[in-house]
């Protein structure tokens, strides 16, 4: 039984970490830090012993704690759920996050924690950068299709919709019930959302060429879930693309090809990503990708990475959520 | 004061017609038919006198009533809110609606009731085909951009989201509160929704060439509103497209260019369509279009058409909803 | 056309005032203050001229502005939507609001703005204390029943449920979409909510004896509306109580006795209060009372009071909302 | 590993049974009947072998299947989730269900499956009548308080609110998303809901005197959860009543006394009932009781009863949901 330290347990991702760790057969929560007065502060968390650490802290803060934990407990894996370690260099961080990187010495040291794409780098890793929720929903279908050159790399359009937990738990007027209910709002349209940067970086690295994204996220009046509609150019029929994805993910416990567009409720509270492919106008296909933004999009994927880092079976503690 | 007969007043569009007619200074509801036992049946409605008729009946039924009203009251304008008269011929109807046309003699006789595009044909018309809700949200931004060749006609992708009133009031399991709440579902993905047919027909007629659409509608857990994200190829910056649309719709009371992506709550209960344009990946723009599916997408536009048919000011009775 | 100054136009009640004033035939908004940087501050509002003032400010602040307006513009009616002027004296204010009264010289000078009970005092009034939303939903059914001794005064239980606009627009964690959606929460249970104080004060004054309330409010996952279930002891059948209320409110445009329990959607966006009465266990009846907390529970009632203060027809500008 | 047959697996309670059985370490679903064409019919289910049966069928139908299973498989426990076996005799059934009892020979043979009150009768039982969801939320707090004469038996008022899964999955207009969302509706007010009958019968049997209820249920715009506010007369302070309940339920894994009014989200997806007690007007207290109508109010309690019938630990398979 390993002791796990959780930093930032009062936000939505942090609470989900606690929910998942409660049913994990190999892990126990050693401590959980947070803004709640009943909890130790993040600083106090640095004094506590644990076998591994999960960081659900804001970007700009998280990498600083990662750096200190790497120093003080070099043997203990650290999974960072923030965006701090997802971009390749300080310049990209400056451009997309509008600030100097909080711990530039860590840049390039943390593999990108999408096990279905980077499993070999994640086994035994000591620092992992957990992907963004939207990024996961895009990369799982896009990476194989682009790598196998089944779709055009220069014409990728993603229209994504997320439940409001994705916007965090800090009280803001536009997140009040009376503002979100009975509404739908697009934000950061075009190519401005930060997850664009990490997806483009991963795709460029894997495909050897730039893949410029058009990406429009929307805030949904639901609590959890992401549904992304990915519009692609392809000369192949949808069935062929679906078969390629099904074959690529045949052994994967958390990715499933389905026939009809996946619904949010089908993946809610699970670590699954469900994908479907459909023919559209001539030369076009649409791919749907659905996941729970708090599970496969955050805490569940973090547990998956923790399992890999500690050499445990990758699905441990996630079967129920699978 | 004109007497208006409303057929099909118990569905969501029909109820909205009654709501809007209640505040219309020139119109009174002569009778309203419906499935409610307190109301006359549709057949009984044919016996009633009125100066104009609004038909919120199911497709397949509506055109039959339109035909009978045209015969019995040739001077009384008829606005058909169903899809029966939107397609150019019986063959297209058969293909998209899966049935023989219920009144083929009416095909080609009913102008398409989108006043911002076809006002001249609608003034004084005796039979009007009220557009589909999604179709209105697509055509208002698309038609000017394509006519002015500001965007590519062969690469039009629309990702649309609608409130559940758009799916009607007939009880179906997938429309129950417990099925829709906390969910988002895509349906008829690719190029299968019936509104594709009317939009392609209108665009081809206006642009002189085919405009194949990729169109994916989604069912939202809200009651009313459509938000469409339209992804286009263009060599012009977003600002130029926005300016062209603003100029095209400068005198229009019900179309408004806005800077940020419009929200559903901004147009709820109004007859407005709000449009914004944004730069995306190089060579790509995204256009958002928002309207209330029951007002500008159905009943409000029907009143607008009624006003035109009767020679009234086009905004009459819709100011409040404007 | 009278010029109306609105203080506090960015909260939910303030926004509703603006919505209602827009359709009021006799009133124009002279200015609206608020926290939005585009608006003048509350202090700046004091410099602006107007024929009447509507105050949708927080309690503790509102009475101070009322006092200054009374001094600087003694002829201009002031309608205070806050709780500051609802209690009879500073001691009660201290007990229920936990602070010294911000303008004790005004205590006792502002009639309680429930026109159906105190219309004679409100005609031509220069300072009016607009009732609480829950208080309105309780007093309209309770006052006549208790005055006519149709129910026991010492056994009044109210279980009330309110939409989340009732909790205000200031960002607080417990009001976030993700906290309110799919939940229901009771708060201030028993006899602790501030509206208890104003209702007990009004009832005691009208009945000549104390009427101790048991009152439990709940926060609903809806935006607007209050439904109160009022449990009473009575030796009379429900029908008799309903008849007494119907007779009492026969001439009232905004109170309506109905047969089935009223629903929130029936009164949403209107200035109506709908009431029904039902038999329960022997010796018990239950009375339902429904209103829109932002209209009859706040802004609509304030317009009603404004109309009375200015000598206008009481329903002016509220017909649409009626 | 026991084989469990589930009748009626497509309704909300039936689906919840399948969800819970999936994680039950001792049980496997032998078959599940339902209206879905992929499933065997209920009649076909009678032909299938199983070690125990869970019946989530409509009342009027359920007891008929219970009777046939009792005959054909006398050793296999049957848990009936319908209301058919909850009332003491055919006369009461006729009065409250408006029909002749479908299997009168079973009346009186099925203990009432509320383990916290009737555990001794449920251990090893072969036919169990699973309580109603509202009934469970009322009986758990009411029974001990009335048995210990801590509150008046002749003045019990319950105001209860339920998520819409409580109304079932059969498509009905009033259960559509667009009818339930943004609304709250009371129904069967006073003393008319069928659960009144089973609660009064249980309380009378346990207290030796009639306990007439006033009971008003409400339909909430949430999917799952019941919150009941129970208004009682008592000369004791709330703290004393809470202590009595805490002591009574000290060893119970699924009942928990809490300080603040319990929220729906705290009990969602769990088999818990949470209870709080609060002082109100003099001589009055209010008790809140919250549970998940599909778990402790239906499927979870059925599993609890199944465990008792089969001699398994009572919490088996429900820990996660605890």
Classify residue C322: in a domain, yes or no.
Answer: no
Cα–Cα distances in Å, from D292 out to C15, C164, D135, D247?
Answer: 37, 22, 12, 23
Here the CATH number for the domain that contains residue C261 is 3.30.360.10
Per-residue pLDDT for D315 more than 70? yes
Give how far C144 is from chain D: nearest CA, Å.
Answer: 21
A-to-C residue pairs, Cβ atoms closer than 8 angstroms: 58
pLDDT band at B156 (very low <50, low <70, confident <90, very high): very high
Classify residue D63: in a domain, yes or no.
Answer: yes
Which of C214, C218, C263 is nearest residue D185 as measured by Cβ atoms?
C263
Torsion angle, alpha carbons of C297, C298, C300, C303, to 10 = 140
Q: What is the pLDDT of residue D238?
A: 98
Cβ separation of D279 and C190 shorter than 8 Å?
yes
Cβ separation of A214 and B284 shorter than 8 Å?
yes
Q: What is the pLDDT of residue C319?
A: 85
pLDDT band at A71 (very low <50, low <70, confident <90, very high): very high
Here the CATH number for the domain that contains residue D30 is 3.40.50.720
The mean per-residue pLDDT over the stretch D173-197 comes to 98
Give how far A124 is from chain C: nearest CA, Å.
Answer: 36
pLDDT band at A84 (very low <50, low <70, confident <90, very high): very high
Chain C neighbors of A180, CB-CB under 8 A: 177
Cα–Cα distances in Å, from B153 out to B146, B207, B232?
Answer: 6, 9, 9
Give residues with Cβ within 8 angstroms of A91, minimum separation 6.
none
Give how far B256 is from chain D: nearest CA, Å.
Answer: 28
Cβ separation of D177 and B180 shorter than 8 Å?
yes
3-state secondary structure of A257: strand
Per-residue pLDDT for D183 more than 60? yes
Burial of D105 (0-12, 13-18, 19+ CB in 10 A): exposed
- Facing residues of B13 across strands? none
Domain shared by B146 and B173, yes or no:
yes
Cβ separation of D164 and B172 shorter than 8 Å?
no
pLDDT band at B283 (very low <50, low <70, confident <90, very high): very high
**What is the tens place of the pLDDT at every residue in B176-199?**
999 999 999 999 999 999 999 999
pLDDT tens per residue across all 322 residues of chain C: 999 999 999 999 999 999 999 999 999 999 999 988 999 999 999 999 999 999 999 999 999 999 999 999 999 999 999 999 999 999 999 999 999 999 999 999 999 999 999 999 999 999 999 999 999 999 999 999 999 999 999 999 999 999 999 999 999 999 999 999 999 999 999 999 999 999 999 999 999 999 999 999 999 999 999 999 999 999 999 999 999 999 999 999 999 999 999 999 999 999 999 999 999 999 999 999 999 999 999 999 999 999 999 999 999 999 865 4
Cα separation, D253 vs D319, in Å, equals 9
Domain shared by A303 and A273, yes or no:
no
Restricting to C residues 72-131, those with a Cβ less than 8 Å away from any Cβ of D are none
pLDDT band at A83 (very low <50, low <70, confident <90, very high): very high
Per-residue pLDDT for B320 more than 80? no
The mean per-residue pLDDT over the stretch A232-249 comes to 98
Chain A neighbors of C182, CB-CB under 8 A: 223
Rounded to 5°, angle at Cα D155 from D110 and C132: 120
pLDDT band at B319 (very low <50, low <70, confident <90, very high): confident
Total count of residues recorded for chain A: 322
Instruction: Count how many domains chain A has.
Output: 2
Which of D214, D221, D288 is nearest residue C284 as measured by Cβ atoms?
D214
Domain shared by C18 and C114, yes or no:
yes
Mean pLDDT, chain A, rounded, equals: 97
**What is the tens place of the pLDDT at every residue in C93-121?**
999 999 999 999 999 999 999 999 999 99
Cα separation, A11 vs A15, in Å, equals 6
Give how far D205 is from chain B: nearest CA, Å.
Answer: 37
Residue A37 belongs to what domain range? 2-131+297-310
Classify residue B103: in a domain, yes or no.
Answer: yes
Domain shared by A120 and A152, yes or no:
no
Catalytic positions of B, please? 133
Q: Where are the alpha helices (DSSP H) in chain D?
A: 12-22, 42-47, 62-72, 90-97, 115-122, 133-147, 177-180, 194-207, 238-248, 264-267, 300-310
Domain shared by B191 and B234, yes or no:
yes
Percent of chain B with pLDDT over 90: 98
Q: What is the pLDDT of residue C190?
A: 97
Cβ separation of B164 and D180 shorter than 8 Å?
no
Domain shared by D76 and D103, yes or no:
yes
Classify residue A318: in a domain, yes or no.
Answer: no
Q: What is the pLDDT of residue A322?
A: 42
Q: What is the pLDDT of residue D322?
A: 42
Per-residue pLDDT for A169 more than 60? yes
**Catalytic, out of D133, D178, D207, D273:** D133
Burial pattern D233-271, b for ≥16 Cβ within 10 A else e, equals: bbebebeebbebbeebbeeebbbbbbeebbbbbbbbbbb
Classify residue D199: in a domain, yes or no.
Answer: yes
pLDDT band at A297 (very low <50, low <70, confident <90, very high): very high
Task: Name the one residue in this structure whose structure tokens are 């682009």.
Answer: A146
Burial of B235 (0-12, 13-18, 19+ CB in 10 A): exposed
Cβ separation of B164 and D176 shorter than 8 Å?
yes
Classify residue B171: in a domain, yes or no.
Answer: yes
Cα separation, D129 vs D111, in Å, equals 6
Domain shared by A107 and A221, yes or no:
no
For residues C127 and C302, the answer to whether their CB atoms sit within 8 Å is no
Burial of D26 (0-12, 13-18, 19+ CB in 10 A): middle
Domain shared by A85 and A41, yes or no:
yes
Per-residue pLDDT for D320 more than 80? no
Which of A23, A182, A320 is nearest residue D182 as measured by Cβ atoms?
A182
Mean pLDDT, chain B, rounded, equals: 97
Cα separation, C188 vs C166, in Å, equals 14
Per-residue pLDDT for B58 more than 90? yes
Per-residue pLDDT for A239 more than 90? yes
Domain shared by A269 and A139, yes or no:
yes
Q: What is the pLDDT of residue D264?
A: 98
Chain B neighbors of A282, CB-CB under 8 A: 212
Classify residue D321: in a domain, yes or no.
Answer: no
The mean per-residue pLDDT over the stretch D240-258 comes to 98
Classify residue B138: in a domain, yes or no.
Answer: yes
Restricting to B residues 181-220, those with a Cβ less than 8 Å away from any Cβ of C are 181-182
Best CA proximity match to B297, nearest among B238, B217, B234, B231:
B217
Domain shared by D168 and D198, yes or no:
yes
H and E: helices and strands count for chain B: 11, 12
**What is the tens place of the pLDDT at every residue in C298-322?**
999 999 999 999 999 999 999 865 4
Residue of C nearest to A169 (CA): C173
Per-residue pLDDT for B78 more than 70? yes
Q: What is the pLDDT of residue A44?
A: 97
Give residues with Cβ within 8 angstroms of A80, minimum separation 6.
A55, A62, A63, A66, A110, A127, A128, A129, A130
B222 touches chain D (CB under 8 A): yes
Task: Give the chains touching B; criterion: ≥3 Cβ pairs < 8 Å.
Answer: A, C, D
Chain B neighbors of D180, CB-CB under 8 A: 177
Q: How many C-beta atoms surround the C-beta of residue B124 within 10 A?
A: 11
Per-residue pLDDT for D126 more than 50? yes
Domain shared by B251 and B285, yes or no:
yes
For residues C65 and C42, the answer to whether their CB atoms sit within 8 Å is yes
A320 touches chain D (CB under 8 A): yes
Which of B181, B182, B320 is nearest residue C23 as measured by Cβ atoms?
B320
Best CA proximity match to D30, nearest among D50, D58, D13:
D50
A-to-B residue pairs, Cβ atoms closer than 8 angstroms: 140
Domain shared by B184 and B269, yes or no:
yes
Residue of A nearest to C178 (CA): A223
């Amino acid at each position: 039984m390993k002791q796990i330290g959780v930093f930032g347990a009062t936000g939505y991702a942090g609470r989900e970490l606690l929910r998942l760790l409660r049913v994990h057969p190999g892990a126990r929560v050693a401590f959980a830090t947070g803004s709640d007065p009943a909890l130790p502060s993040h600083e106090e968390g640095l004094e506590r012993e644990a076998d591994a650490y999960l960081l659900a802290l804001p970007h700009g803060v998280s990498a600083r704690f990662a750096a200190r934990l790497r120093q003080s407990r070099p043997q203990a894996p650290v999974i960072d759920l923030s965006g701090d370690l997802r971009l390749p260099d300080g310049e990209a961080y400056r451009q997309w996050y509008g600030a100097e990187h909080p711990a530039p010495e860590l840049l390039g040291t943390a593999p990108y924690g999408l096990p279905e794409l980077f499993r070999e780098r994640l086994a035994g890793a000591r620092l992992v950068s957990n992907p963004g929720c939207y990024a996961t929903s895009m990369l799982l279908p896009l990476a194989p299709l682009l790598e196998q050159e089944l779709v055009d790399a220069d014409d990728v359009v993603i229209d994504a919709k997320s439940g409001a937990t994705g916007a965090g738990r800090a009280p803001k007027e536009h997140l009040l019930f009376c503002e979100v209910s009975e509404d739908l709002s697009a934000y950061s349209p075009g190519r401005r959302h930060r997850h664009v940067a990490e997806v483009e970086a991963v795709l460029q690295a894997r495909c050897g060429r730039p893949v410029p994204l058009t990406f429009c996220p929307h805030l949904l009046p639901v609590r959890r879930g992401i549904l992304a509609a990915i519009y692609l150019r392809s000369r192949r029929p949808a069935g062929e693309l679906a078969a390629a994805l099904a074959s690529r993910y045949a052994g994967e416990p958390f990715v499933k090809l389905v026939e009809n567009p996946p619904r949010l409720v089908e993946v809610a509270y699970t670590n699954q990503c469900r994908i479907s492919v459909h023919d559209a106008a001539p030369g076009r296909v649409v791919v749907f990708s659905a996941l729970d933004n708090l599970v496969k999009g955050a805490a569940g994927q973090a547990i998956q990475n923790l399992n890999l880092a500690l050499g445990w079976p990758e699905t441990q503690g996630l079967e129920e959520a699978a």
